[in-house]
Structure 1
Amino acid sequence: MKIGNVELKNKVFLSPMAGVTDLPFRLICKEQNCGMLYTEMINGKALCYDDENTKKMLKIEDEEHPVAVQIFGSDPEFMGRAAEIMNAYPNEILDINMGCPAPKVVKNGDGSALMRNPKLAEEVLKSVVKNSTKPVTLKIRKGWDDNSVNAVEIAKIAEASGISALAIHGRTREQYYSGKADWDIIAEIKNAINIPVIGNGDVFTVEDARNMLDKTGCDAIMIGRGAQGNPWIFKRINHYMETGEILPEPTLEEKINTAVKHLNLAVREHGEYVAVREMRKHIAWYLKGLKGSAKVRDEINKITSYEEVVSRLNEYMEDALTLV
């Protein structure tokens, strides 16, 4: 698969997620054969003001490629300048966020709020495309709410503005992540435009991925919540696409060892204090559904040292394996 001039090894991508898709998590997903990694969304205006915390989020390791950096904002001038700044970074793709439902984002007219103003959306798209030396992609939702479903209109504007590929999450902004993702809108967009279409929403299993491809005809799949605590989903979907065989679910040992590896990467990147706290949600995701894991999760939520977290995870694993 190609997006612009960028060759991709496979068509199963990691969705950008605020507070989740930082460098350590991306490296874990890359190990599991993720076709393209997306950073957390970057504030275009903050990038223009040379904000230090924003620049830290843009750290990309050699083994990550190909990488898409996602920027958000609704001021065409600032977004164009942000695109120009990103030309100096090593990411292959520049992505525009027009799907984030978070109140603190939409109150400024950014994220999915931009879909309510197609004319301004077009100005933002054209400004970014004009100033970027890299392929520019766009991520949208179905619309703001059920009374303003305009994803097809925005998709056509995007294609006409020079966007190289479009990702569509089959929910409205008002749905956030509730209810069911509408895959029919993905198929509608696939039939309406000629650039690659990336389907997003409710892919949690290998079967979900197969069904999305079959039902929508989309060119690639983007996985968000389905990858939380489950980076193996990329490897398992790709293996199924290549062989027709569904690999077994990861073992308890694989889950614990990966959680510890993820923690090590987080400590290296963020320092122990931040990493131990940031990893609590990831560890809860890794342990989800495992017998007796609620108690361990509660304990880990109170632990503040790296050694203690690792010790408690290993203790849990040994106990569980002994019972087997």
Structure 2
Amino acid sequence: MKTGLQIGDVWVPGRVLTAPMTGITDLPFRRLACRLGAAYVATEMVASAELARGRPDVVRRAAVGDGLPLTVIQLVGRDPAIMAEGTRMAEQAGADIIDLNFGCPAKEVTGSACGSALMRTPDLACRLMEAAVKATSRPVTVKMRLGWDDAHRNAAELAKRAEAIGIKAVTVHGRTRQQFYTGRADWVAVGEVKAAVGIPVIVNGDILNAEDAREALKQSGADALMLGRGVYGRPWLAAHLERALADGTVLDEPGVDARLGIVLAHLDASIDFYGMPLGLKMFRKHLGWYVEQAPWPADPLDRRAAKSHLCRLDEASDIKRELTALWLNVTLSGNSAVEIKSQLVEAGKA
């Protein structure tokens, strides 16, 4: 049976989506995740005003790569006219779907009356949605939170207005802005949004494994789910959860050799895309997460020692050599943190 999600005139060939994340879902990551089986990986959050001005680093965030199964560009902003222009540019760049950010809780975003601050100004949020929908032939979606705080949970009301405007799907993170990422995501509350609208609703927040995925869909009644921090160091997670939802098969994490190959491929892709030294700088956060998620003994000192050393290296060739030596040796022998440091030193001499 064919499973997926219809968003406007776009068929998403799966129900496990990957969220737009600044500094994370750049083109190298999106290509890698899609190669590993992800059906939907959004761009980083793109400021509509800076995109319209053609600021190079912002244009790069919206980069559309050949061979991706689907391109979703997320825009953030507060000016309807500029949002319309950003939307037109996103369509011209090749976006299949254009997503509007009403959910980012970061102070630098909400302080500019953008992101989840728009949950406090629903009339402005609606003008932004109207401007985007009128500016493009592509489906427009919205990612939001439950509300600004517990006293103002207005996600269901805003979603109804969004549907009337012509928004084709909404994603709801099961927290308020004031919660940031504390506590647990309220998947049941996302169900209130699902009950209020006829367009697809996507549940987001605290989905890290197959059990979480099933429970989030059950409690919310949502049509699909969206992964966020769960993909840190695990770009294969969307594909694995897709399989679990489709036929109940819970796949093992990639083996030692396969996982090392993923890390090295990601490093090469980052350097190819950004050049040096920026490519290495952009990769370091991913390197840290790969080490944290590595199939090594549980002692956190092991990981801390390796992560600290590897993220200080300034040459890609050094990282490849030392990471490979460390990865295989530690996996096979289960050494202590002291021995790991010794291995790193020896690898550096090789």
Match of 1:104 among 108, 116, 128: 108
Match of 1:87 among 85, 91, 97: 91
Q: Could you tell me the TM-score, scaled by structure 2's length?
A: 0.90
Is 1:47–2:51 an aligned residue pair?
A: yes
Residues 162-181 of structure 1: matches in 2 within 5 Å? 162-181=166-185
Work out the CA distance in 2 between the residues paired with 1:261 and 1:52: 25
- Structure 1 residue identity aligned to 2:202: I
Q: 2:312 — aligned with what?
A: 302
Q: 2:64 — aligned with what?
A: 60
Unaligned runs of 5+ in 2: 335-350
Residues 223-302 of structure 1: matches in 2 within 5 Å? 223-289=227-293, 290-291=296-297, 292-302=302-312
| Number of residue pairs aligned between Structure 1 and Structure 2 | 324
Match of 2:196 among 192, 196, 205: 192
1:132-177 superposed Cα distances (whole Å, 9 cap, x missing partner):
1100000000111111111111111111111000000001111111
In 1, are the aligned partners of 2:174 and 2:189 still within 8 Å (CA)?
A: yes
**Which entry has the higher C-alpha Rg, 1 or 2?**
2
Instruction: Measure how far apart 1:321 and its partner are.
Output: 4.0
Is 1:21–2:37 an aligned residue pair?
A: no
Q: 2:333 — aligned with what?
A: 323
Unaligned runs of 5+ in 1: none
Q: 2:348 — aligned with what?
A: none
Residues 142-157 of structure 1: matches in 2 within 5 Å? 142-157=146-161
Work out the CA distance in 2 between the residues paired with 1:322 and 1:100: 41
SS at match of 2:92: coil
Deviates more, 1:156-165 or 1:314-323: 314-323
- Structure 1 residue identity aligned to 2:239: K
Q: 2:342 — aligned with what?
A: none
In 1, are the aligned partners of 2:203 and 2:224 still within 8 Å (CA)?
A: yes
Work out the CA distance in 2 between the residues paired with 1:182 and 1:152: 14
Instruction: Measure how far apart 1:272 and its partner are.
Output: 2.6
Work out the CA distance in 1 between the residues paired with 2:20 and 2:332: 38
Query: Identity of aligned pairs, percent?
Result: 34
In 2, are the aligned partners of 1:25 and 1:262 still within 8 Å (CA)?
A: yes
Work out the CA distance in 1 between the residues paired with 2:325 and 2:91: 47
Q: Could you tell me the TM-score, scaled by structure 1's length?
A: 0.97
In 1, are the aligned partners of 2:256 and 2:328 still within 8 Å (CA)?
A: no
SS at match of 1:138: strand
In 2, are the aligned partners of 1:125 and 1:161 still within 8 Å (CA)?
A: yes
Deviates more, 1:198-207 or 1:50-59: 50-59
Residues 28-39 of structure 1: matches in 2 within 5 Å? 28-39=32-43
Q: 2:345 — aligned with what?
A: none
> Where has structure 1 moved over 6 Å in runs of 4 or more?
none
